[in-house]
Amino acid sequence: MQFLGRRVFYMAATLLAISLVVFVIISLPPGDFVTALEARYAVQGTRLTPDEVAQLRARYGLDGNVFQQYWHWFSQIVLHGDLGMSFEHQKPVKEVIGARLGATLGISLITLVVTWVLAFAIGIYSAVKQRSIGDYAATTVGFLGLATPNFLIALIFIYFSVSWFGSVPSGLCSPEWCDASWNLGKLLDLLGHLWIPMIVIGTAGVAGLIRVIRNNLLDELRRPYVTAARARGVPEGRLLRRYPLRVALNPFVSTIGWVLPVLLVGDIVTGQILGLPTLGPILLGALKSQDMYLAGSIIMVLSLVTVIGTLISDFLLGWLDPRIRLGNQR
């Protein structure tokens, strides 16, 4: 219980620190939301009355000193769930994010599951069959996957897609299926569009996890208890499942936290190139046009999910492995 309490306390502290960092990011670019809005209106030829300006400034708490501004921004989020306005989209940030969160989480989750299944199978295979051809192939792919930036993978796919099929599969569905109700055809169409993003987003993750699992399992398989079990005549398959595998599961659990930001960066890349209705391209656009409430909020939401994910993985690890639980109590 003490372990649990300490973790929750750290999480709160971390969130506070993150909110500070995000606020700094939001306030770094010169000018603020209202001056940006004024500049935008000036380009369009309309003008805000001083009254409106004052009203807007009051609404976003932009007139106080830095601390008052921070407090205003922070309390708006906590008390009213108000993340501010996006001046690119002319909509509340909450709506912009909400509209795309579903697709993002969906793609991320599917990719995550595929990543895990693949990494798990390949990692175990290459540890058990160490120094086999399959192991060498897996290790090579692992090294390459970690060394290749995911946007480069996307570019290579696009190149081959264009030279073989003459076009790039963009979006999440083909025009003829987009408005159709759910059926097998639409599902197949969706899968046809999903595999490139999945490869692009997932490769680095699979490569990293394969390496970790392989190394962990190899360490574990050299332990005396494995030899002892083998000497007693425990069949190989059961021997593997009994203990070493549990230890090898550890990296899956401990990476729950940071897996989402990694996936989202992959999503920025693929979403940008393939035009997916996900958060990635929105974040990139917001960052580029310095639409800071939107960008800051997306970073905030991401960090929140990461921190909660870390918390969950801490609990799971403590439950999976008593040593971790006790080690933290000193």
Q: Which of 71, 136, 143, 225 binds other proteins (CB under 8 A)?
A: 143
Q: Tell me: does residue 324 bind other proteins (CB under 8 A).
A: no
Asked if 317 contacts 324 with a C-beta cutoff of 8 angstroms, the reply is: yes
C-beta of residue 121 within 8 angstroms of C-beta of residue 248: no
Among 99, 101, 103, 307, binds other proteins (CB under 8 A): 307
For residues 73 and 160, give the distance between their C-alpha atoms in angstroms, rounded to a whole number.
Answer: 47
Verify binding: residue 9, other proteins, rule CB under 8 A.
no
* Contact present, 106 and 276 (Cβ < 8 Å): no
C-alpha–C-alpha distance, residues 124 and 214, integer Å: 6
Residue 178, amino acid: C
Nearest-CA neighbor of 8 among 320, 322, 323, 311? Answer: 311
299 is a site residue for other proteins (CB under 8 A) = yes
Distance, CA of 169 to CA of 156 (rounded, Å): 14
The answer to whether 283 contacts other proteins (rule: CB under 8 A) is: yes
Among 21, 48, 53, 110, binds other proteins (CB under 8 A): 21
Binding residue (CB under 8 A) for other proteins from 112, 273, 282, 294: 273
- The residue from 264, 276, 282, 294 that contacts other proteins (CB under 8 A) is 264
48, 53, 245, 265: which one binds other proteins (CB under 8 A): 265
Would you give the distance in Å from CA 30 to the centre of its chain?
Answer: 29
* Six-digit token string for 228: 């002892």
242 neighbors 117 (Cβ within 8 angstroms) = no
Interaction mask 161-190, other proteins, x per CB under 8 A: -xx----x----------------------
Instruction: For residue 102, give both structure tokens.
Output: 């579903």
| 98 near other proteins, rule: CB under 8 A | no
What angle in degrees, to the nearest 10, is found between the helix axes of 184-221 and 256-274? Answer: 140
In angstroms, rounded to a whole number, what is the distance separating the alpha carbons of residues 281 and 301? 16
Among 22, 83, 212, 240, indicate the residue that binds other proteins (CB under 8 A): 22
Q: Site for other proteins (CB under 8 A): which residue of 302, 313, 314, 318?
A: 302
Dihedral sign of CA atoms 283, 277, 110, 142 in order? negative
Q: Which is nearer to other proteins, 39 or 54 (CB)?
A: 39
Nearest distance, CB of residue 232 and other proteins, angstroms: 29
Among 151, 190, 315, 320, which residue sits at the site for other proteins (rule: CB under 8 A)? 151
| Residues at the contact surface with other proteins, assessed by CB under 8 A | 10, 13-14, 17-18, 21-22, 25, 28-30, 143-144, 146-152, 155-156, 158-159, 162-163, 168, 258, 260-262, 264-265, 268-269, 272-273, 283-284, 287-288, 290, 292, 295-296, 298-299, 302-303, 306-307, 310
